[in-house]
Chain A
Amino acid sequence: MFLKRIALAGSVAAFSASAGYACEIGGRVNIVGNEFAAIQAVAAGAKECTGASVDSNLTSEHQTINVAGLSGNPSEYTSAIIANSSIVALMNEDVIRPLNDLVEQHGQDLQPGQLIKIGDDIMAVAFMANAQHLMYRKDVLEQAGVEVPKTYEELLEVAEAIREQGIMQNPVGGAYASGWNLAQEFNNMFLGYGGSHFKPGTAEPNVNSEAGVNALNMMKALSEYMNPDFLTHDSNATNAEYRAGNVAIMNMWGSRASQQTTTEGVLQEVVDGHAIGAPLTVGGGETPASTLWWDGWTVGKNISDEEAEATFIAMKHGIRPDMLNDETAPLAVWLIEGYEPAADAEGVFAAAKMGTPAYPMLPYMGLMHSALGNELADFMQGKESAEQALADVEAAYRAAAIEQGYLQ
């Protein structure tokens, strides 16, 4: 009996010691976020916490529910996992809280680079980075006898060489699907040419400029080497083309790098020839024609302080350094202490090193992105001039910005 009690006490002590290191929370946690492997790993980490319920709703439609889900009081969700484009909607609606005091209490060991600061307020904790960069088939480039391009101008020459030698009819891939994807490709190219979406310090559009016209002309030139259906190809379709061996070179999301060769049904020649490179520059510019992204988590405003604290502790547990193992490390370019970048992460790190600009985190950027997505397809189909397309973008943006109260 005595021995039994000793053993019990010992195990309780051992348990509490590990629980102290593990995670004990005193309020409910409910996470809403996008659905991909890296975010699932973070949510799974948060769910290891005990003491109260930890739920998650990970869906690719998270953006359509996260504002509503954080708006009630108390709100359905206590944390939203977002990227630098989607945090803007949450800040515009004022549904997430500054994390300064929670970071001070519980987050001393977070890396300074993980803290997303807007002014003096820490609004999110980032855990992974993403950027579009070059992916190519080194075997095809070798066969064509061309170097790996460093600029989009060189990429056009590479594409021409591959087509001329009859290796591939449409060697260039691109997520040019009309809508969000097309607008994002324009953003990359526009920033690469040194453009700026808005007149400094205002919400006035500024895309109908030399940089805008150059960006569109370059996109048009690239599209000549793409599958003629390019306006319907989003990043999933573009990757499918790449894995099927129909595409030799493309600008693609770093977060897709690790799945490029591991997905079921990839051709062996693609697995062998797959390589990644730094993002390309354009028009003699120094910073790449790409944008840098981060994914991070936030804590809702319309919840009790206990729930906020519990959420912070659980989410921090989800991104603790020892969650990185052989399984989770290749899923993303983690911003977590102790992360050793694998070969798949080179492209994103090169993008950061080359000074790739961040995707603009402005309250009215979402409206600009929508306007670009709706109005640029006409130009890509050759139905109107670049100037006319950009004038249409500005007009469409202006109408939306006036409605939303950003412009008078």
Chain B
Amino acid sequence: MRHKTFLWFFLPTGLAMLLFIAMPIVSVVIQSIFAPHPAVLLEVENCTPLIGCTTETTIDQQATAALREAQPLGRFVGLGIYFDRGHLAIQEISQMWAANESWGGFFSDLSNLPFYRAMAFTLTFTFIVTPLTILLGLVIALAVNSLHRHLKGLMIFFSLLPMIVTPLIGSLILFWMIDSRGVIGNALVYLAGDPNFSLKASTGLMWVALMVYGVWSSAPFAFVVFYAGLQTLPQDQIEAAQIDGATRWQQVKFVVVPHLMPLVTFVALIQLMDNFKVFEPIIGFSAQAHAQSLSTFIFDDLGGETRQLSSAAATSVMTIIGVAILLSPVLVRTWRDFKGAR
């Protein structure tokens, strides 16, 4: 395609991307480097029913309004919010580094900082759930593909169920099942032989539950993609392998999987992105005491009684950077392929 033709062809998409993807990102970045003005505080008499009057602090609205008028964006703080305790905690880390002799002590202190604790969970979740999802999706796809054609439709429908259920509802259902009075929870109490055994009270088991949910809810996506790929599998290659005496396992390993490899890359890409932003299961399982992610931080910042827009914006930018880092190996490879193709 000539460059000019391409330009006109791409222009509407490009404009939409600029408007709906690039502009919001720019606005979030700007928001993250500005913070609200210092509040001008005022002591006043405060009267409430049933209690009477007390002296309380409030904001001097006139003085604060003047400040806002002069600089509507707020005060410029640069990367200050990125480096504070709620985010990268640069100052706290350097103190810990100085205070700790051993790596063990340093890491245990590090896990006390919200960002690094959230990272520990998010990365564990991402790197366990993603491969398991791909594996499970492949197994289901191979199983369904080898069924009799009358059964296939039914099985595809059932395999897709976890994807049809709204993520939050799905996690809530599992949440009540693992409750100490729920089906699974009760069975575990019986198996453990301890009436005080609780899956929800144990961080390790909660992580396992979250990951099981993660695999359960996204396996159908991997399944659908791989199942579609299996329909394009050249039959002559399989037949050739059979004539050569390849077992079923060898056929899968040397013919099917290499054929599906581009799809594996695609599913891995999407799953890495999704799992890094893990959110619904943490909310659905009320697991904030055990596991946090960058998305739950944003949710907390915006859901509190005082909304922390700058903090939420900084976390959002860090999420974008995190996803970019995770995807970089795949993106670099795609770029190399692209250059090689030229």
- Give the interface of A toward B (CB within 8 A): 63-64, 67, 84-86, 88-89, 91-92, 94, 111, 113-119, 126, 129, 169, 177-179, 201, 203, 227-232, 234, 246, 292, 294, 335, 352, 357-358, 360-367, 369-370, 374, 377-378, 380-381, 384, 388, 392, 395-396, 398-400, 402-406, 408
**Contact mask B7-49 → A, CB, 8 Å, 1/0?**
0000000000000000000000000000111110111111111
Contact A294 B48 (CB under 8 A): yes
A-B contact pairs, 19 of them (CB 8 A): A89-B307, A92-B306, A118-B46, A119-B58, A229-B180, A229-B200, A229-B201, A231-B201, A231-B289, A232-B287, A365-B305, A374-B288, A377-B288, A395-B85, A399-B85, A399-B86, A403-B81, A404-B35, A404-B36
Q: How far is the CA of A129 from the CA of B65 in the complex (A)?
A: 32
> What is the chain B residue whose CB lies nearest that of A177?
B286
Contact A366 B305 (CB under 8 A): yes
> What is the chain B residue whose CB lies nearest that of A364?
B306
Question: Which of A89, A129, A362 meets B57, CB within 8 Å?
Answer: A362
User: Which of B158-166, B249-257, B259-267, B296-304 contacts the other chain?
Assistant: B296-304
Count chain B residues whose beta carbon lies closer than 8 angstroms to a beta carbon of A.
60
- Cβ of B122 under 8 Å from chain A: no
User: Which of B190-198, B225-233, B237-245, B323-331 contacts the other chain?
Assistant: B190-198
Shortest distance between the CB of B168 and any CB in chain A (Å)? 14
Q: How far is the CA of A63 from the CA of B304 in the complex (A)?
A: 9
Q: How far is the CA of A374 from the CA of B56 in the complex (A)?
A: 26
- Cβ of B187 under 8 Å from chain A: no
Q: How far is the CA of A232 from the CA of B181 in the complex (A)?
A: 13
Q: Give the residues in chain B near A229, CB-CB below 8 Å.
A: 179-180, 198, 200-201
Shortest distance between the CB of B284 and any CB in chain A (Å)? 11
Shortest distance between the CB of B215 and any CB in chain A (Å)? 22
Contact B84 A85 (CB under 8 A): no
Q: How far is the CA of A384 from the CA of B39 in the complex (A)?
A: 34
Contact B57 A358 (CB under 8 A): no
Q: How far is the CA of A361 from the CA of B56 in the complex (A)?
A: 7
- 4 A-B pairs besides A366-B306, A399-B85 with CB distance below 8 A are A118-B44, A363-B58, A367-B308, A369-B304
Contact A367 B41 (CB under 8 A): no
Q: How far is the CA of A307 from the CA of B63 in the complex (A)?
A: 27
Q: Give the residues in chain A near B304, CB-CB below 8 Å.
A: 366-367, 369-370
Q: How far is the CA of A357 from the CA of B48 in the complex (A)?
A: 11
Shortest distance between the CB of B192 and any CB in chain A (Å)? 12
- Cβ of B217 under 8 Å from chain A: no
Q: How far is the CA of A115 from the CA of B49 in the complex (A)?
A: 7
> What is the chain B residue whose CB lies nearest that of A352?
B50
Shortest distance between the CB of A68 and any CB in chain B (Å)? 10
Q: How far is the CA of A5 from the CA of B39 in the complex (A)?
A: 65
Chain A CB within 10 Å — which of B64, B285, B303, B306 has the most?
A: B306
- Cβ of B114 under 8 Å from chain A: yes
- Cβ of B152 under 8 Å from chain A: no
Question: Which of B44, B48, B286, B308 meets A404, CB within 8 Å?
Answer: B308
Q: Give the residues in chain B near A179, CB-CB below 8 Å.
A: 288, 300
- Cβ of B311 under 8 Å from chain A: yes
Contact A169 B195 (CB under 8 A): yes
Contact A117 B47 (CB under 8 A): yes
Shortest distance between the CB of A328 and any CB in chain B (Å)? 19
- Cβ of B61 under 8 Å from chain A: yes
**Contact mask B180-213 → A, CB, 8 Å, 1/0?**
1100000000000001111011010000000000
Q: Which 3 A-B pairs have the closest CB atoms?
A: A366-B305, A228-B198, A119-B44
> Given A91-B59, A377-B289, A403-B36 in contact, is the A114-B49 Cβ separation under 8 Å?
yes
> Given A228-B196, A363-B41 in contact, is the A402-B75 Cβ separation under 8 Å?
no
> What is the chain A residue whose CB lies nearest that of B65?
A94
Contact B57 A402 (CB under 8 A): no
> Given A228-B196, A361-B56 in contact, is the A203-B41 Cβ separation under 8 Å?
yes
- Cβ of B98 under 8 Å from chain A: no
Contact B86 A396 (CB under 8 A): yes
Shortest distance between the CB of B74 and any CB in chain A (Å)? 8
Contact B114 A126 (CB under 8 A): no
> What is the chain B residue whose CB lies nearest that of A246?
B181
Q: Give the residues in chain B near A366, CB-CB below 8 Å.
A: 304-306
> What is the chain A residue whose CB lies nearest that of B86?
A399
- Cβ of B70 under 8 Å from chain A: no
> Given A117-B46, A366-B306 in contact, is the A352-B51 Cβ separation under 8 Å?
yes
Q: Give the residues in chain A near B94, CB-CB below 8 Å.
A: none
Q: Give the residues in chain B near A92, CB-CB below 8 Å.
A: 39, 59, 306
Contact A292 B58 (CB under 8 A): no
> What is the chain B residue whose CB lies nearest that of A383?
B203
Q: Give the residues in chain B near A111, CB-CB below 8 Å.
A: 49
Q: Give the residues in chain A near B50, CB-CB below 8 Å.
A: 113, 129, 292, 294, 335, 352
- Cβ of B235 under 8 Å from chain A: no
Contact B51 A404 (CB under 8 A): no
Question: Which of A86, A91, A402 meets B84, CB within 8 Å?
Answer: A402
Contact A403 B38 (CB under 8 A): no
Q: Give the residues in chain B near A404, CB-CB below 8 Å.
A: 35-36, 39, 306, 308
**Contact mask B279-321 → A, CB, 8 Å, 1/0?**
0000001111100000000001011111110110000000000
> What is the chain B residue whose CB lies nearest that of A389?
B112
> What is the chain B residue whose CB lies nearest that of A114?
B49
Shortest distance between the CB of A401 and any CB in chain B (Å)? 9
Shortest distance between the CB of A56 and any CB in chain B (Å)? 22
Shortest distance between the CB of B73 and any CB in chain A (Å)? 13
Q: How far is the CA of A201 from the CA of B44 in the complex (A)?
A: 10
Chain B CB within 10 Å — which of A86, A92, A117 has the most?
A: A92
Q: How far is the CA of A366 from the CA of B304 in the complex (A)?
A: 7
Contact A113 B49 (CB under 8 A): yes
> What is the chain A residue whose CB lies nearest that of B68?
A94
Q: How far is the CA of A36 from the CA of B311 in the complex (A)?
A: 32
Q: How far is the CA of A156 from the CA of B75 in the complex (A)?
A: 50
Contact A406 B56 (CB under 8 A): no
Contact B311 A400 (CB under 8 A): yes
Shortest distance between the CB of B267 and any CB in chain A (Å)? 32
